[in-house]
Amino acid sequence: MKFPRPEILSYEHAIRFHGHNGPFLALGYKLGIYLNQNLKPKGIMDFKITVIIKFEKPFTCLIDGLQCSTFATFGKANMMVKKSKSNDILVFVEKGAKNFTIQITKKAMDICFNAKDLGKAAKEIFKTPPKKLWKII
């Protein structure tokens, strides 16, 4: 059975789902929006996403943002997470025959880790162009 794609959750709903605002949540959400705009998925199963990430807070907050904006989720088994020992974050995205590997940039990490205020850092993530936050490798 194929399910139609509902409207993407707003960022405010992503914050409610996650429990608080912050730059890693914003980073994941913004990446999902970028993927939607560029890959134009039609259904809730169009993306298969694997995130390689340090499995600790605040890194894992990115996963919630990505789930809220892509409809790739653990429950539907079209999102997987693999543990990393480094601070590098890699995201593998499959949509049909298209495959992408996306890596977080130093600029994005600087915004996330130099934040004195999580809400302001999230706003900075949204103001920063995607190509300065993520590198397709």
Q: Domain residues for 80?
A: 11-136
5 domain-assigned: no
Q: What is the pLDDT along the chain (137 residues), one digit of tens a residue?
A: 677 778 899 999 999 999 999 999 999 999 999 999 999 999 899 999 999 999 999 999 999 999 999 999 999 999 999 999 999 999 999 999 999 999 999 999 999 999 899 999 999 999 999 999 999 99
Pair of tokens at residue 25: 């949540």
Any idea what the CATH number is for the domain that residue 115 is in?
3.30.1330.130
In a domain, 75, yes or no: yes
For residue 4, is it within any domain?
no
- Is there a domain that residue 6 lies in? no
Question: Is 34 part of a structural domain of the chain?
Answer: yes
* Number of domains observed in the structure of the chain: 1
Angle at the Cα of 10 from the Cα atoms of 47 and 15, rounded to 5 degrees = 100
Flag whether 84 is in a domain.
yes
- Residue 2 inside a domain? The answer is no
Angle, CA 27 vertex, CA 72 and CA 5 arms, to 5°: 30
Residue 46 maps to a domain: yes
Closest to 53 in 3D by CA, of 31, 24, 73, 77: 24
pTM comes to 0.95
- Whose structure tokens read 């900075």? 124
